[in-house]
Amino acid sequence: MEFCKSASQVSLGIVGLGAFGQLMAEHLAPHLTVLAHDPRPPEIVPAGVTMASLREACRCDLVVIAVPLAALAHVCREMAPLLMPGTLVVDVCSTKVEASAAMRAELPPYVDLVASHPMFGPQSILAGTRGLKLVLCPLRGRRAGRLAAFLRKHFGLKILIATPDEHDREAAFTQGLTHLIAHALLRMDELPGRITTRSFDLLKQAVDMVRHDAPGVRQAIESNPYAAQARSLFLAQLDAIRGELGAGSARPGMQIMRLP
């Protein structure tokens, strides 16, 4: 596949038209011929996207699998006999070690494989794609560079090349801890919004970005093989700070304030 071809010459099959699949379809439809397959298609299909069978989607030049990590291996097994030799197959799961292993195990050797992780979602993309990060993990074949060039040219994305293990080691902290903190804050009473600092406003933005995550996103992030270690290190530091501050030693008669 040549990414320099015109949209009429290059076809993209998207398997899974959930929240991120739709987001991807909306942005790629102006550049490629987009077919999408989902057993439960959305009520409103993005403009320029044609709903198709799984076979039709798998016959495209480029196939992107946009399903939860828990469903990836099963979907790959369904796709395997339908893929054409030379097709480039890409996933968009949040963790890469497990996703990469599933694609290597379930997809035929005559297709090229690139594991990917867009480090953004529907909330963070509202201001545009330029400067946002996307990780590519080349697994099989030599076309990751062409894919990177296409994404840089048309969307201004910052492309990071890494192995699946390198990705998961870093994402366990940079993504895992962000979601951990944000979900903890979501469980608290309504946070103040008037007397705030800039840093607190940014923290609230992070909370809002994960507030409407699809159900499988948090599960996928926590399945990162390094996530438990990152959480343990973080919580150990919180315990150390609490000890330094003398937690539990509030002045007599002092009550925790609740916002109205």
- DSSP bridge pairs for 50: 35
Could you tell me which of 52, 54, 124, 115 has the C-alpha nearest to residue 89? 115
Main-chain phi, psi angles of 7, to 5 degrees? -60, -30
User: What three-state secondary structure class fits 57?
Assistant: helix
- Parallel/antiparallel/unpaired status of strands 112-118 and 133-140: antiparallel
CA atoms of 149 and 209, how far apart (whole Å): 28
Q: Are 221 and 246 in contact (CB under 8 A)?
A: no
Per-residue pLDDT, 250: 53
DSSP state of 236: H
Q: Is pLDDT at 256 greater than 90 in this prediction?
A: no
Q: Give per-residue pLDDT as tens, 104-146.
A: 999 999 999 999 999 988 878 888 999 999 999 999 999 999 9
Question: Quick one: pLDDT at residue 240?
Answer: 93
Please give the domain boundaries of the chain with CATH numbers for all domains. Answer: 11-162 (3.40.50.720), 171-244 (no CATH)
Of 44, 41, 50, 48, which Cα lies nearest the Cα of 16?
41
pLDDT at res. 248: 55
Burial of 75: CB neighbours in 10 Å, binned 0-12, 13-18, 19+? buried
| Residue 5 pLDDT > 80 | no
224-240 per-position pLDDT tens digit: 999 999 999 999 999 99
